[in-house]
Structure formats: C-alpha cells, structure tokens
Structure 1
Amino acid sequence: MLVSYKWLKDYIEIDDLTPQEVAEKLTRSGVEVDIVHAMNQGVKNIVVGKVVDCEKHPEADKLNLCQVDIGEEELTQIVCGAANVGKGQYVVVAKVGARLPGGVKIKRAKLRGQTSEGMICSLQELGFEGKTVAKEYAEGIYNFPTELPPGTDAIPLLNLDDHVLELDLTPNRADCLSLLGVAYEVGAILGRDVKLPRFSVNEASEKADEYISVNVDAKTDSPYYGAIVIKDVKIEPSPLWLQSRLMAAGIRPHNNVVDVTNYVLLEYGQPLHSFDYDRLGSKEVLVRRAVAGEKITTLDDVERTLTTDYLAITNGSDPVALAGVMGGATSEVDNETTNILLEAAYFHGSTIRKASRELGLRSDASARFEKGVDPNRVREAGLRAAAMIAELAGGTVLSGVVEFDELDAKPNVVEISLEKINALLGTNIDANTVEGIMDKLQFPYEEENGVFTITAPTRRQDIVIEADVIEEVARLYGYDNIPTTLPNTATTPGGLTTIQVKKRKVRRFLENAGLHEAVSYSLTTAEKESFFTKESSNRVNVALPMSEERSALRTTLIPHLLDALSHNKNRSMQEVRLYEVGSVFQTDEETITKQPTETTFVSGAIMGLWHEHSWQGEKKPVDFFVAKGIVEGLLAQLNVLEKAEFVQTEVEGFHPGRTAKLKVSGTDVGVIGQVHPTVAKEWSLHETYVFELNFTKLVNIETEEIRYNAIPRFPAIDRDIALVVTESTQAGEVEKVIVEFGGPLLKNVALFDVYQGEHLDAGKKSLAFSLRYQDPEKTLTDEEVTKVHENVLKGLEEKLGATLRS
C-alpha cells in the first residue's frame, strides 16, 4: 500500500511530523513502513510554460521549434523532439540550470543551428514511473489538463513535493489498505481525531429504479449490491490534483469517471466499478454464479472462459463483469459515454480469491475483497464517488440507490478482563490505561469490575477474539514499554544443539575460506544425478511433481552446485566458489510407505583462479590440493582431522587420477576431486573441483576434548629427508610410518617436494619431508634427535623399502 503524505494530511493533523517521523511511529506500532519515497528525485527549477508558437525545425523533420511563455519578459525558444507538442499547450519546462533525476543539468544548447533555451519535459523525465503515466502521455511530453499561469512552479502542481510511505501490511490489517484506515491508525498512535470526507449528493427528481433493477441469485457471495445511476456525464481528463494523487499511489490516470472510482478505492478501501449504462444491454443487473463454459472479454481484451466457481455480474443474461476482479470490455466507460451505472457491492472474499488466482487477474479491487472490506462503508463509498463524478464530470445523480441488501454489518464484540491482558503481556497496567487505548482506537467499550466489553468497529475486521484486543493494547502501550522477564517456570535456558553449533562452525569456516553459500531445491531429476550415481533403488520419486525437472528428491548436492557454477559462467563469472549445507534423501523401499531417510551433507564446488595478484602477475588456478586444503580445514573445525585419511580411488563422475575418498576413523564420510571432463562438459564447465561430505556421519564421530598446550620454551630441531620410493607409494603412507617411528619427540611432518625424472630409476619417485623434533621439558641434543631420526629411517626402509636419496 502506497500512502501519500500530503493526501493523508486531509484526514488527520500531522503537520508537526515529517514523513519519516510518521513512518517511524507506524512501524513501532506494528504497521511496518518499508521505505519512504521522495517524489522529487532531485528535480529543481521546473515551471509551467505555454507554447505560444510551434513550427517544424527548418533543418530537421523530427524536431519542432517552439516559442514558449515561461513567465519572463520575452518568449523562450526551445527545440523539442516530441511528436505530441503543439501550439496552445501548457507544458512542463525545465529552464536553463534546472536539474532532473540522475543529476542531469539542463544547459543552453544548439540543435541543428537553432538555440534551445531549456527543455519541455515528459513525466518520465521528471522521475515518474511509466506504468503510472496516463496512456496518452506514455510517449511524448506532458500537457497540463487546464490553463495555468506561465512561470508557475510546477513542482507542487505535479505533487513532486510529496513523500510516499510504502506499507508492508500483514493480511489481517486490511483496514490499512485505505487512506482513512491509515489515518485511524495514525490517530490512535497520536491520540488525534480523524477528519472524515464531507460531501453531499444533489439527487435529481428522476428515480434510479426507473432505469435499473438489481437482483442477486448468489446471496452468500454477494449479500449487498448497490447501483447508482448518473446521467449526462462528460468524459475528459481528471483535474491535475486527482491525477497526481493517483500517480503517487501507483495508479495510472484514465478519465474523470474511472479516476474517481480509483480515488475512492484508495480513500475508503472500497472497490467500485462504473459501467456505460447505454452499453449494458438491459435495465437489469443480475448477480449470479457463472455458467460453466460461458465467456467474457475483460477490460484487458482477453476472452476468458468461466466456471461455476466464479461470480458474474450480468445484464440478466450475459456477463458484463467478473465480480470484484475486472470489468467487461462491452460495457467499458470510454470517451463516448454519457450515462453511468456505478456499482458499489460487497463480495465474499474466498469467491473473489479463487477467481483471481485461477485467472491470473490480481487487481487492487480483488486484493481488498479477498482480505475483507468494511460492510458499513460500501454504500457510503458509492455515494462519495457519485458526488465526485457529478462535480468533476458534470453528471446528474438520479434519486435513490437501487440495492439488494442482506448484509450483516454488525460489529464484533469481545469481552476480556484486565487480569488476562496483564497476564499475557507480563505488564501491570491499570484500567485507566486500557480505557485510554480504547479511546484512541475509537473502540466503544464498557468496563465493570475489571472486565471490558469492547465493540470493534466494522472497519477493523481483524478484531475477533481476546488475543486481538491484547495485541492492540500491546501495540499502543508500546512494545518498548513491556518489561523483559524470564518465564516463571522450571524450564532450562535455550541454546544451540551440538549439531547446530557444528553447522555454524562449518559455515563460518567455509565463508572465511572464500566460499559463498548456495541454497538449492531439494527436488531434482534422476538424469542429472545419473552422472554421479547409477543407483536408482534408493531414490525417492515425487508422486505428483510440479515439473519434470523437479520429479525426485535429491541424493546428492553436487548437480545443484554445478548448475549454479554454470549459471555464473554463462554470465562471465569465471571464478566461483560455492558450498551448500543441505539434506539428501534415500529409501530402502520400492514402494514408499514411510518417511525417507534424511541425511545432511556438506558439499562445495570451485572453479577458475583461486588466487590472483594483478600487481605481481601471480595467478594460482584451483587444483586438487586447494579443494583438499579446504576440506582439511573443515575437518579441523570439527576436531577430526587427526583421524582423517585421504585414499585415492575412482568414483562415478570424477576424474580417476584426481579423486580421493575421505575416511575418518575408518568410516567413509565423503569424496573430493575433479569433476570428470566429460561430465563437466554437460554443464559447459572447464576444470572444476568438488567435495561432498556426510555431515551427519562426521558429527557422530567421537572426538576428544580439545586441550591447549603452553607455547614451548625450548627450541625445535628440523631435519629434511628425501626418500626414494616406488611410484605407487602414496605420501600419506610414508607420513604414517614417519609418525609411527618418530615417537613423542616428533611434533610435525610436512611433505614439501615430489620429484620424478632424471637421476631416478624407472618406477621410482622422490618424496621430500620436513620433520620437526621438540621436547617441551628441555633442549634436545643432536645425539637425541639423531637417534630418533635414524629410527624413523630404519622403519621406512623396513615397512616401505624407502631409501634416502643420494
């Protein structure tokens, strides 16, 4: 809901508050204001100009040479390219030195040899959205609908000195879908009275029931239907003030009749509809459920086939409108219309919602009927619109409202005790405070011995039960004034579970490592997953999938991450690093009779450059060891790195030489490696590395309590060794043996070089390790280190046949 600050001031005194202050008070009371839009987006120095003369530019067919009166001693020459510019028009002129949205400054210019002293503007150039500009001005400049003194400041005329509050309303606050509803809300917050619109309808002696009759078959769907007949109207553009208010509310102006119905819609929250009486086709309005298969062409020129679920407004036989959703094209008000049938009705919300949803026709009217309108304002809104049409379109309102009325317009009554209000809110407010709140809300009430009997006005359809009244008391008492207390129960304080803590650790680590979190669908296709698993017996298929691409529950996260990488690559994002913590689903049943097993996985996918330094020209592409380093860091966060082992293997969909399974305490918990080039090609990806870990298994592995040691006071001794081993020997196997024979003095082992080639026998390779020896209690001697070191070399030779490289 868009609320004009200047328009709101018609109904409540808020001159002492800025739009931002009003927004703050509304938000604090529970009616959230998303943002306050300034209508003026930097526009300065624009005035009204009268085009005194307009001729074709002598050197350009598409340009016009205009002599414009802008209230100065001499006429101003402006070159204008708009096709709709013409002599006698009153236009918006940006003078030399003016500012337009985006910081555009208007300067004196020469166009094809002719001087242009300013610019004649369109509304779009002044910052108005195209969808709110009248169709006749969708292209070209804007013409004021009435004569105005040249040189007049155009900013207030166009409402560019206004601010618009964008309300983010919850479904229960349908009352704030109107200016009056917002005014009541502001009035309750400030303790001020609301000024209701004042109007009178001058009815003719002719009676409306001589021109139209109203019958309702669908009485449950339409308990009230009122018809007002207005004769001899003249269709023309609305006054500028009306157009500008509609545009501020995001509604496109049409003509003086349609604009009035939209104006009252925003003012009262009551949808109205105007028919061309002469094109209605009869003197009867019949409201009924549609007949299956009958058709209607709506105002958007689309022919629609109706069902019995829809409510139709008919002329006794044929539909002329979809009740509460959209009018029909056959009875549309146009420039030739002279007689109006004005509809003010109450339609049941669920009926309108069903038609609107199924036909894809969501409108301002349907949104209000769906949420509920004030039954006591329906007739009043119709009369308000009739009075405005008579004033602005010169029409004559016939006597009486022809209506069908079985509408229950009784207000809701709620009884609640002061004790219950305080018990639920944890407050200690007295009866006088509650009475003051009810007075501000303008809710009639009676109080006896601490029990309030409250009558909720029909404009507040959301006040039905005790909790609704308590919410109103809390809002206006002030959420900030409600004390913070702990429940007086034997409950334990809340906190995160172990799994939640570990999930947060994983996310924090991966994000600090440079990966971004992805969130993907839990539904996928067997075809996508077939690149990584051929098993289908454990897949859970959806009985009624919403699409072929979402036909089964996923068993792996990798295809979704590859989808995201491909999406980024197609948009020239080459360095992408993503991870996801999500569930996969499996079952051991062919016919699903129970819930599938849900397992949490942590997966990642990275491609492109891992590191780039433009100044030094350093570039490091992603490789297996980058992915492995990320996984090792993740395992360290979970305190299971020391129990981890990477085993080279072959896995479906992975590069056979660059893939390893991850085991922790002997249990398979995941895989890491390069996506097979043929699989990567299916996603149009280059070299890509992924990992996928079974998080559920990882968090269930027993870990020792983390203990911290003091920083050693004694120095360490480093020894480097280069070992010649067979080509098939893995560095991890060598490291295990070194640790086994190194004893308690060996504190760290790190591989720093791998060599194959000249000076080595065929089938051999050299692995270079750095070993660090340290004793926390004393300084080691060379003899002590040499003894342990020789023991390590002996063990390597005995277990792996490793020899020192000469």
Structure 2
Amino acid sequence: MFVSYRWLEQYINLEGIDPNELAEKITRTGIEVEGVETLNKGIKGVVVGHVLECEQHPNADKLNKCLVDVGEGEPVQIICGAPNVAKGQKVAVAKVGAVLPGNFKIKKAKLRGEASHGMICSLQELGIEGKLVPKEYQEGIFVFADDAEIGRDALELLNLDDHVLELGLTPNRADCLNMLGVAYEVGAILDNEVKYPSVELQESSEKAEDYIRVNVEAKEDNPLYIARIIKNVKIGPSPLWMQTRLMAAGIRPHNNVVDITNYVLLEYGQPLHAFDYDRIGSKEILVRHAVEGEKITTLDDQERTLKGDHLVITNGETPIALAGVMGGADSEVKDDTINVLLESAYFAGLSIRKCSKDHGLRSEASARYEKGIDPNRVRAASERAAALIAQYAGGEVVSGVVEENTLDAEPKRVDVTLAKINGVLGTELTVDEVTSIFKRLRFEAIADGEQISVTVPTRRGDITISEDLIEEVARLYGYDHIPTTLPVGESTPGQLTSYQEKRRRVRRYLEGAGMLQAITYALTSEEKAEQFALEVSKHVRLAMPMSEERSTLRLSLIPHLLEVVKHNIARQLDSVALYETSSVFLSKENQDLPTEREHLAGAVSGLWHMHMWQGEKKVVDFFTVKGILEGLFDGLGLAARIEFQASKHDGMHPGRTATISLDGKEIGIIGQVHPHTAKRYDVRETYVFELDLQTLLSADVEDVVYETIPRFPSITRDIALVVDKGISAGKLEQEIRATGGKLLKDVKVFDLYEGEHVEEGKKSIAFSLRYLDPERTLTDEEVTSTHEKVLEALHTKFDASLRS
C-alpha cells in the first residue's frame, strides 16, 4: 500500500511530524514501512509557463520555437521537440539553472542555431513513471488546466512536493489497504481524531428503481449489492489533484468517472465499478454464478471462458463483468458515455480469489475483496463516489438506490481480562491504561472490574479472539516498553545428536581434503534413476512432473555429480573434486511411500595437485580416491573394519572398481567411471564413490584408548612375498595382522613387482612390518619367532614364498 503523506493529512493532524518520523512510529507499532519515497527526486526550478507563441524551428522539422511566459517579466524562447506543444498551453517549464531528476541541470543552449532558455517538460522528465502517465501525455509534454497560475511552482501542482510511504502489510491488516484505515492506525499511534471526508449528495426527483432492478441469485457470495444511477455525465479528465494522488498510489488516471471510482477505492477501501448504463442492454442487474463454458470479453479485450463457480454480473442474460475482478468491454465507460450505473457491493473473498486466480487477473479491487472489506463502508463509498461524479463530471444523481441486502454487518464483541493481558505481555498495566489504548483505536470498551468487553468495528475484521486484543494492546503500548524476561523452569540445552555430529565431521574432513560440497536435485530421469545404484529398487515417479528430466526420485547420487563435473569441464574447470551428502529413495513392493536413506557420494577428475615451481603434477587415480576414504574411515574409528574388494558394477571400469564393506556387509562402491559411460556424460577420466552414510554413521565404535608414547625401540623387518596374481594385498595384510599378535604394530605395502624375474602368473609384493613392546626392549629371538609364524601362515594359506 502506497500512502501519500499530503493526502493522509486530509484525514489526520500530522503537524510537527515529518514523513520519516511517521514511518518510524508506524513500523514500531507492527506495520513495517518498507520505504519513504520523496517524489520530487531533487527537482527544483520548475514553474508553470504560458506558451505565447509556437512555430516550427526554421532549421529542424521536428523542433518547435516557443515564446514562453514564466512569470518573470520578459518571455523566454525555448526550443521544444514535443509533438503536442501548442500556443496557449500552460506547461511545466524548467528554467535556466533548474535541476531535474538524475542531477540534470538546465543551461542556456543553442539548438540548430536558435537559443533555448529552459526546457518544457513531460511528466516522465519530472520523475513520474511512464506507466502512470495519462495516455494523452505519454508521447509529449504535460498540459495544465487553463486556470493554472503562471510562475507558480509546478511541483506543488503536480503533488511532487509529497512523500510516499510504502507499507508492507501482512494479510491480516487489510484494514490499512485504504487511506481512512491508515488514518485510523496513525490516529491510534498519535491519539488524534480521524476526519472523514464531507459528503454533500444532492439527488434529483427521479427514482433509481425506475431505471434499474437488482436480483442476486448467489446470495452467499454476494450478500449486498447496491446500484445507483447518475445521469448526464460529461466524460473528461479528472481534476489534477485527484490524478496526482492516484499516480502517487501507483494507479494511472483515465477519465473523471473511472478515476473517481479508483479514488474512492483507495480512500474507503471499497471497490466500485461504473457501467455505461446505456450499454448494459437491459434494465436489470442479475448477479449469479456463471454457466460452465460461458464467455465474456473483459476490459483488457481478452475473451475469457468461465467456470461454474465464477461469480458474474449480468444484464439478466449475458455477463457484463467478472464480479470484483474486472468489468466487461461491452459496458465500459467511454468518452461518449452519458448515463452511469455505479456498483458498490460486498463479495465473498473466496469466490473472488478463485476467479482471479483462474484467469490470472489480480487487480486493486480483487486484492481487497480477497482479504476482506468493511461491510459498513459499502453504502458510504457509493454516496461519496456519486457526490464526486456529480461535482467533477456534472452528473445528476437519481434519488435513492436499488439494492439486495442479506448482509449481517453487526460489529463483533470480544472479551478479555486484565490478568490475561498482563500475564501474556509480562506487564503491569491498569484497566484505565488498557481501555485508553482501545479508545485510541476507536474501539468501544466497557470495563467491569478486570473484565473488559470490547466492541470491535467492522473495519477490523482481523480481531476475533482475546489474543487479537492482547496484540493490539502490546503494539500500541510499545513492544520496546514490554519488559525482557528469561524463561523460568528446567531447560535442556540443545545439542547435536551423535549422527549429526558425525555427519558434520565427515563434511569437514572432505572439505579439508580439498573437495567441495555440491547440492543437486533429488529428481532425475527414469533412464538415470538406476545408474550406479547400490541397492535395486523400483522407480518412484511423480504424478505430475515438470519435465521428464525431473520425473523420478533418484536411487544414486553419482549421476547428478557427473552432471556437475560436466558443467564445470564445459567452463574450462578441468580439475574437479566434489562430494554430496543427501537422500536416495528406495521403494519396496506394497509400499506407498519410498524410504529415504542418506548417502555420501563423491566425484574427482583432473589433477589432484600441481606444483608449477617444482614441475610436479599428480593426476587423480583410483588410489587417490581410496586414500581419501581410508582417511575418512580412520577418522570415524572404522578403518580396521573396512574392506575393499575388487568387483564389477554397471557403469564402472571392470578393472578399477571395488566394493566397500563394513564388518562384511557391503556399504558402497569406489572406482573409475567406465569410459563409455564417461563419454555419454561428456566427462573425462573420472573416479567416483558412493557410501550408505546412514549405515556408516550408525555403526558402533569402540571408545578411543590412549597409550603412552613408547620408551623402547621398535624392530622393522621387510619381506617380499611371491604369490598368485589373483591374491590381493589386502588379504595378505589381514593375515599378517592376525598372526603377528600384540607385538606387530604396523604393516605397510611398499613395493609391487611383476616382470621377467618372477614366474608367469605370479607377482611380488613387499611389506614392511614393525614390531614393538611398549614395556621392554625386544630381542631378535622374540621378533624372529613371531616373524616366522607370520611367514608360515602366509605360506599355508596363500602358498606365499619369500622372493630370493
């Protein structure tokens, strides 16, 4: 809601309060003022000028040489390019030395050899948005009425000396969607009286019922409809003060009748509609629900097909307006309109909302009906508009109105106790202080001891229960005056669960390792849904997907990570390391909803590290990614229980892929994306992994045990074992650790050899074994005894022999 400060002054005394101070006071009482706009935008030196002479520029076809009286004695010559400039006009003139929006300064100039002492301005050049300028002045300069005083400040006439407050209203505060509502709010803040506009309505001797009859079939959606007839109107521009107020509120002026309906809408919050009485086609107004498939052409010249629950205004047979949304083109007020039927009605918000949404039409009127209007202003707004049309359009108001009325417009009564108010707010207010606040709000309040009975005006439809009254007391008393207290009672500080703490640890570790977190869509295509899935599951497809690419819930995180890798490579970011922790969706037979399971996935491509100075580059390979995961498992205390085993998996390289098991149960995969799959995704050599994070983080972990730093030396023995090529280093390491017992502290692989010095089908793997007893120095005999047991076990189980 845009609120003109000058206009607001018509209803409430704002003496001594500037717009910014007022904005602060309104914000402090619960309605946020999102901004205060100064309309003049730094303009100065613009006055009303009178064009005494106007002739074509001797050296330019599209320029005019004008002699203009600006109220300073001698007229000045101004060169103007506006197509509508003419002799005798009263126009806005920026004199030499004037400043226009954007700090544009007017100087003496020569245009095609002719001197120009100023500038004749359009409204756009004075800072008014083009969409708000009346159509007749959109392509040229603005022309004042003939009675405009020469030399007078043009900004004052155009209301550009005003300030506009933009209220950010929540849906419950529909009462402030009009100037009177804002005046009541400001009156409560300042404890000032609200001055209603005076309405002097003079009616002719003719009766309205002789011209029109009203019938409402849809009484539930339209409990009150008032029709008024105004004859012999003269369509023309509305007064300048009205046009400028409409423009300040964001509405473009049209003509006097339409502008008056919009003006009263902004003033009272009551939507009105003016029909050309002679174009209605009958003497009947019938309000009903539309017939399914019925059509109407609205004011925007769009033909619209109606549904059975849309409320329409008809001439007894055909629709002439969408009730509360937009009028019909056939009954529009035009330049030749003589007689007007003025509609003022109360429409149910739900019905208007449905119609507005179905047709994509949201207007100032529909917005107010949706949020709720004051039923007791329907008649008053009709009288105000009729009086203005009589005054500014020369109309004759026919006596009386024709109406259909089944509306209950009685104010509500809400009770509250002083104890409840003080208990909720933590205050020590007295009954007198509380009733004083209600008096400022113009609510009738009667106190009986500590019981307060409040009669709420119909303009405040948001107040229905005692808690609403407490809110009113709080905001008018001042939120900043309410004492600050701490909660009383036992409380438990919030903390992360063990699972959440571990998940954060996982993310910190991966980011510390050089990977970046990605967040991708949970939806994918049916084709990609099953790719790289750890667990087979049926698809879960959306009933109404936005596109086929986002139609199915995913079973794996890897496909989308590969799309992110592709996106980066396409932008010359060749080295990519990404991870994601998110859900996959597994569905079983006879299961309505899928089960969400959190997974961890990663994708790495390009160079892992590069040292330009040293000329060193390391390309990502299988062991780079395996090393990242081993560090992760070690940090989670699970390294000893994890096993990597070579395997095959759809979409993965058959010789560079492994399954990952925890305590013998498969929890993930790791490996290189198959070259064919990589080509389909348009990525280079890429290594990926995916883990069942939920299983990983839910695993029981033994408590950390600290040992003293050993005082005694360790003994290292290296062995090079010749074994079959099919035996993995991991199996050998497991056996070494199992046999080495307490004395064996560390085992590392440091060499692999396959070649001419090893027989066909065999390989040589070298291990470094470190023995240590923290309590004493080991002897060679003790180490040799344990070491031989290790060699014997390896020979027995794997037929391993020492390489000579």
TM-score, normalised relative to structure 2: 0.79
Pair 556,378 (structure 1): closer, same or farther in 2 beyond 3 Å: farther
Equivalence map 1:622-701=2 (5 Å): 650-654=648-652, 661-664=659-662, 666-671=664-669, 692-701=690-699
Deviations 1:265-317 (A, max 9, x none): 22222111111112111222111122223211111111112232111111121
Contact 1:145 1:239 in 2 (8 A): no
Partner of residue 485, structure 2? 484
Q: What does residue 599 of structure 1 align with?
A: 597
Whether contact under 8 Å (2:415, 2:452) holds in the other structure is: yes
- Shift of residue 39, structure 1, vs aligned partner: 4.5
Partner Cα separation in structure 2 for residue 113 and residue 611 of structure 1: 70
> What's the secondary structure of 1:410's corresponding residue?
coil
Match in the other structure for 2:289: 289
**1:557-577 C-alpha deviation (Å, 9 max, x unpaired):** 445556677788889999988
Note if 1:389 corresponds to 2:389. Answer: yes
Q: Contact 1:722/1:766 (CA < 8 Å) preserved in 2?
A: no
The verdict on how the C-alpha distance between 1:571 and 1:180 changes in structure 2, with shifts beyond 3 A counting, is farther
Match of residue 474 from structure 1:
474
Q: Which residue of 2 aligns with 1:336?
A: 336
Task: Give the direction of change, closer, same or farther, for the CA distance of 1:179–1:570 in structure 2 (3 Å limit).
Answer: farther
| CA separation of 1:295 and 1:664: change in aligned 2, threshold 3 A | same
Counterparts in 2 of 1:662 and 1:312: CA distance versus 1, 3 Å? same
Alignment match, 1:356: 356
Q: Which residues in structure 2 correspond to 1:365-376 (within 5 Å)?
A: 365-376=365-376
Cα distance in structure 1, aligned partners of 2:412 and 2:453: 10
Instruction: Give the counterpart letter for 1:345 in structure 2.
Output: A
CA distance in 1, matches of 2:504, 2:153: 58
**Cα deviations by residue, 1:39-73 (Å, 9 ceiling, x for unpaired):** 55954446246566666667766x53554748465
Deviations 1:128-148 (A, max 9, x none): 54544444455x344144355
Seen in structure 2, the aligned counterparts of structure 1 residues 111 and 8 have a Cα distance that, compared at 3 Å, is: same
- Give the stretch that moved more between structures: 459-468 or 625-634: 625-634
Q: By how many angstroms is 1:346 displaced? A: 0.2
Please tell me whether the aligned partners of residues 4 and 164 of structure 2 are also in contact (alpha carbons under 8 angstroms): yes
How many Å apart are 1:36 and its aligned residue? Answer: 0.7
Distance between the aligned counterparts of 1:502 and 1:359, measured in 2? Answer: 51
Deviation digits for residues 98-157 of structure 1 (CA, Å, limit 9, x no counterpart): 4534x767777777777777766655565554544444455x344144355566555555
Aligned equivalent of 2:464: 464
Q: Secondary structure at the match of 2:172?
A: coil
Cα RMSD after superposing both structures:
5.4
Measured after TM superposition, the shift of residue 377 of structure 1 is 1.0
**Maintained 8 Å contact 1:523/1:550:** yes
- Match of 2:416, SS state, is strand
Aligned counterpart, 2:324 = 324
For residue 403 of structure 1, what is the aligned residue in structure 2? 403
Is 2:192 aligned against 1:192? yes
Matches of 2:98 and 2:736, distance apart in 1: 81
1:776 and 1:14 map into 2 onto residues whose CA distance is 88
Deviation at 1:700, TM superposition (A): 0.8
Structure 1 residue 701: deviation in Å? Answer: 2.0
Contact 2:48 2:154 in 1 (8 A): no
Task: Describe the SS at the equivalent of 1:7.
Answer: helix
Q: How far apart are residue 168 of structure 1 and its match?
A: 3.5
Where does residue 29 of structure 1 map in the other structure? Answer: 29
Question: In the alignment, which residue of structure 1 is the partner of 2:91?
Answer: 90
Distance in 2 separating the partners of 1:417 and 1:551: 56
Give the CA deviation at 1:321: 0.3
2:431 is equivalent to residue 434 of structure 1: no
How far off its partner does 1:407 sit?
1.0
Partner residue of 2:181? Answer: 181
> What is aligned with 1:261?
261
Distance 1:686 1:763 in 2: 33
Describe the SS at the equivalent of 1:409: coil
**Offset at residue 3 of structure 1 (A):** 3.2
Q: Whole-Å Cα distance in 1 between the matches of residues 53 and 627 of structure 2?
A: 77
Match of 2:101 in 1: 100
Q: Deviations over 1:180-232 (max 9, x none)?
A: 22332333344333333333223333333332222212211111111122223
Q: CA contact under 8 A between 2:529 and 2:553: conserved in structure 1?
A: no
Task: Give the Cα separation in 1 of the matches to 2:659 and 2:37.
Answer: 59
The one-letter amino acid paired with 1:167 is L
Q: Are 1:226 and 1:402, in contact at CA under 8 Å, matched by a contact in 2?
A: yes
Are the aligned partners of 2:39 and 2:164 in contact in 1 as well (CA < 8 Å)? no
* Matched ranges for 1:114-129 at <5 A: 123-124=123-124, 128-129=128-129
Q: Distance in 1 between matches of 2:406 and 2:229?
A: 21
1:38 aligns with 2:37: yes
Q: Could you tell me how far apart the structure 2 residues matched to 1:392 and 1:616 are?
A: 87
Closer/same/farther in 2, CA of residues 449 and 213 from structure 1, 3 Å limit: same
Shift of 1:731: 8.9
Change (3 A) 1:24 1:694: farther
The one-character-per-residue Cα deviations of 1:466-516 (angstroms, maximum 9, x if unpaired) are: 33223333333444415434254x664544444444555566777786746
Q: Are the counterparts in 1 of residues 444 and 454 from structure 2 also a CA contact under 8 Å?
A: yes
Q: Which has the larger radius of gyration?
A: 2
- Given that 2:231 and 2:397 are in contact with CA atoms closer than 8 Å, whether structure 1 keeps it comes out as yes
Q: 1:289 to 1:52 in 2, by over 3 A?
A: same
Q: Name the CA distance, whole Å, in 1 between partners of 2:171 and 2:460.
A: 12
The whole-number CA distance in structure 1 between the counterparts of 2:774 and 2:177 is: 74
Q: Per the alignment, in what secondary structure is the counterpart of residue 343 of structure 2?
A: strand
Q: 1:487–1:626: structure 2 CA closer, same or farther, 3 Å change rule?
A: farther
Alpha-carbon separation, structure 2, partners of 1:403 and 1:189: 37
Alignment of 1:185-584 (within 5 A): 185-480=185-480, 481-486=482-487, 488=489, 492-503=492-503, 515=516, 518=519, 520=521, 522-533=522-533, 537-543=537-543, 551-559=551-559, 581-584=581-584
Q: State whether residues 561 and 605 of structure 1, in contact with CA within 8 Å, keep that contact through their aligned partners in structure 2.
A: yes
Alpha-carbon separation, structure 1, partners of 2:239 and 2:257: 11
Match of residue 47 from structure 1:
46
In structure 1, what residue type is equivalent to 2:63?
Answer: N
Cα shift at 1:529: 1.7
Contact 1:734 1:796 in 2 (8 A): no
TM-score, L = length of structure 1:
0.79
